A and B are shown apart, each in its own frame.
Chain A
Amino acid sequence: MTERVATTPGLFPLPDPAKQQLSDLKGHQKGDLISGSESEQIASSYETYRADVIDEQLAAGLDRIVEGQLRWDDMLAHPLAVHENVETGGIVRYYDNNNFYRDPQVTDELTFSGDVASELEAATEILEDRDADAGLQATLPGPYSLFDLATDEHYGDDAAFLDAIGDFLAGEVDAFPEHETLFLLEPSLVENPPADGEDARASEAIDTVAAATDADVVVHTYFGALEEKVYAHLMDADVSALGFDIVAGDRDQTLYNISEYGTKDSAALGISDGQNTLVESPETLDERVTWVDAKLPTQEFDRLYLSTNTEPFYLPVNKHEAKLSAIAEAADIETEEVTA
């Protein structure tokens, strides 16, 4: 029987009171965004809201709990944007969205940072305090996406830069507290697919990161389907699951990839639209899971991670909360039917 795990890719919308409070504390300009050395007052504000979003996930009944990544002003570029050897340049468009982040320009060696590890330490404390059953899920940009979002002004060639980012992320993961799952978000594999040679290197970089943890590693892709060749190379990565966007883009291409090249024993399915306020019912979400299963008669999954397709920061808070509950309920549907 397939186990269904209700989770999220992380990168939550800031709670509404936090939007105003942090904007007042930090300011509106690009120089005011998170730098990794924020004041005690700002840090304490984030602590409050981190606890709030963890409590929300517990209340919704999710099986994996993320820290929320509320500090990630630059979205997936965050781990570099706060690095001491990275300068943040102009504001650039975040994929094909009406969202922008600061261009992280790597000017020196990508040494260990520990920024994400300290967020996860704080999340662990909250989960222990709440005596939660659900496990911690870490979230990071996948190495190829972080490479794609950044500008190299130090390593000199793409191959060396991608490898350096893989090594950097592995070093960060190594410092993480105990976590059950690690989601590596790789939208760039879809949006700006790697060229010949680079596709193999992208998978090797994922291997480097995955090898730094004992947790289940999920490489989640979204904003559409992967090109066939990119998928074939991604299958070489030694990870527990690959994640697919079941909402946006070409689902037939995704099914074709899985049929032709197989997939891991587990998979992540982005079944709820992270970029639309329409809240899908648990039954609709369940139908999407069942649809994928039915289209892949030769594939048996040990576990399916169910989540929004994209990061959910695009959503207003009320709709995001409703979607979390619906995902948690959808994950329980199968179990209920079996036990009934």
Chain B
Amino acid sequence: MSRPADNREQFRPRDHETDHFLLTTVVGSYPKPKWLNRVNDLADDEESKFTHEHLEEAHDDACRVITREHERAGLDTVVDGEMRRNEMVEFFAERIDGYEFNGPVKVWGHNYFDKPSVTEPVTYDEPWLVDEFEFTSNVAEKPVKVPITGPYTLANWAFNEAYDTEEELAYDLADLVNIEIERLVEAGAKYIQIDEPALATTPDDHAIVGACLDRIVENIDEDVRIGLHVCYGDYSRIYPEINDYPIDEFDVELCNDGYEQIDVFADPEFVPDLALGVVDVHTAEVESVEEIKANIRQGLRIVPPERLTVSPDCGVKLLPREVAYEKMQNMVTAAREIEAELDAGEIDLDEPVPLAD
């Protein structure tokens, strides 16, 4: 069953001007400053004098810059833009005992991924994200959300040499994610997002993802907000099953295809809160505030305002940085305008909202 999702009020800014509150957030990744890419290259160069300590300092600087950029855009909850992460599976596989790397494999064309192999049972050693969470929390004035690649994706996007089934590997990984969340909560984290893009590619495994989530939230206080992010899939194949997931919020990309799939979530009634993608991360064209407001209205067809979160479709790391920033800024403005219109009774929630062309 879905968790009682009444833990969103803690993210309402103290000086929030309207009664209505649409929680604004981001999925996680953000374009890296150009100098950080240069610095990463330097760190890989054995002949360079650039040390690991230098790289850490560079990461700290980048996290500080991007966290503040998120705050300037007006977001209610912020992320460090995943400045320390190279790739969503590699980053965690490097921190979990049991994985090894053998070299890049093709994804498409000349795009490769250092797909790791699980060669022995996975175990938890040092915390994965606690240091970066503490750093970002110290920098940020707004609450910090922590995105974690989910166990199903960590299993599915690796070679499994050690387990009889991928399902068993996913469950062991889910137990490790649970330990990590406990550590993060001890460090003060209140908002966790589990990223499971692999669910979109193999939707028939939705029950495995559900069982993973049961393990992930075990003994996690209900005031800790747990979101699940999925993107680029056929959602009719995982809905209404996701209504049974123990999550507070389901974060989904729908802007990319013009909300063609929004009706999937209309019947039966949507149980968790909805975190709706309202800007497209695959086009460098910045949506206007009016366009984004129309997109937010699509979400209001599924859940009432007090259960709607707005975010970009997915991580924005592939966009030019200024485009990413403007999209967030417009998204926040759109959310604030909708809140004011709701307060003023100018929005009729029962009125049908046509799909954009």
A314: B residues at CB distance < 8 A? 105-106
Cα of A34 to Cα of B107 in the assembled complex, Å: 15
Cβ distance B113 to chain A, nearest Cβ, rounded Å = 8
Is B161 an interface residue when CB atoms closer than 8 A count as contact?
Answer: yes
Contact status of A93 and B201, CB under 8 A, knowing A14-B106, A98-B107, A100-B107: yes
Smallest beta-carbon distance B274→chain A, Å:
26
When the two chains form their complex, are residues B110 and A22 in contact, meaning their CB atoms are under 8 A apart?
Answer: yes
Residues of B within 8 Å of A99, CB to CB, are: 106-108
A91 interfacial contact with B, CB 8 Å: yes
A316 touches B115 (CB 8 A): yes
Which residues 233-251 of B sit at the A interface, judged by CB distance below 8 A? none
- Given A93-B201, A276-B159, answer yes or no on A73-B109 (Cβ-Cβ < 8 Å): yes
Partner among A28, A275, A315, A319 whose Cβ is within 8 Å of the Cβ of B111: A28
Smallest CB gap from A16: residue in B: B103
- Chain B hits for A80, CB < 8 A: none
Contacting pair A318 B201 (CB below 8 A): no
Contact check, B110 vs A313: say whether CB atoms are below 8 A apart: no
| Shortest distance from the beta carbon of B158 to any chain A beta carbon, whole Å | 9
Q: Known: A19-B112, A276-B160. Contact between A96 and B202, CB under 8 A?
A: yes
Contacts A16-B104, A316-B115 given; does A96 touch B201 at CB 8 Å: yes
| Contact among B102, B156, B157 for A316, CB-based, below 8 A | B102
Alpha-carbon gap, A313 to B103, bound state (A): 12
Does B137 have its Cβ within 8 Å of any Cβ on chain A? no
Q: Is B333 interfacial (CB 8 A cutoff)?
A: no
Min CB gap A224→B, angstroms = 14
Q: Which residue of B lies closest to A322 (CB)?
A: B102
- B93-125: contact bitstring with A at CB < 8 Å (1 yes, 0 no)? 000000000111111111110010100000000
Rounded to whole angstroms, the CA-CA distance of A119 and B198 in the bound complex is 36
**Residue of B at shortest CB range from A73?**
B109
Chain B nearest CB: distance from A166 CB in Å? 27
Report A86-108 CB contacts with B as 1/0, cut-off 8 Å. Answer: 00000101101011110000000
Residues of B within 8 A of A278 (CB): 117, 159, 161
Q: A315 contacts which chain B residues (CB < 8 A)?
A: 105
Give the contacting residue for B105; candidates A27, A32, A33, A316; CB below 8 A.
Answer: A316
Which residues of A are found within 8 Å of B201, using beta-carbon distances? 93, 96, 98
Q: List 11 A-B contacts (CB under 8 A).
A: A22-B110, A28-B109, A96-B201, A99-B107, A276-B160, A276-B161, A277-B117, A278-B161, A313-B106, A316-B105, A317-B103
List 15 additional A-B contacts (Cβ < 8 Å) besides A19-B104, A99-B107, A100-B107. A13-B106, A14-B106, A26-B110, A33-B109, A33-B110, A73-B110, A96-B201, A100-B108, A276-B159, A277-B102, A277-B159, A278-B159, A278-B161, A316-B102, A316-B103
Which A residues are within 8 Å of any B CB, using their own CB? 13-14, 16, 19, 22-23, 26-30, 32-33, 73, 91, 93-94, 96, 98-101, 275-278, 313-319
Q: Which 6 pairs show the lowest CB-CB distances between chains A and B?
A: A316-B103, A23-B110, A100-B108, A278-B161, A316-B102, A277-B159
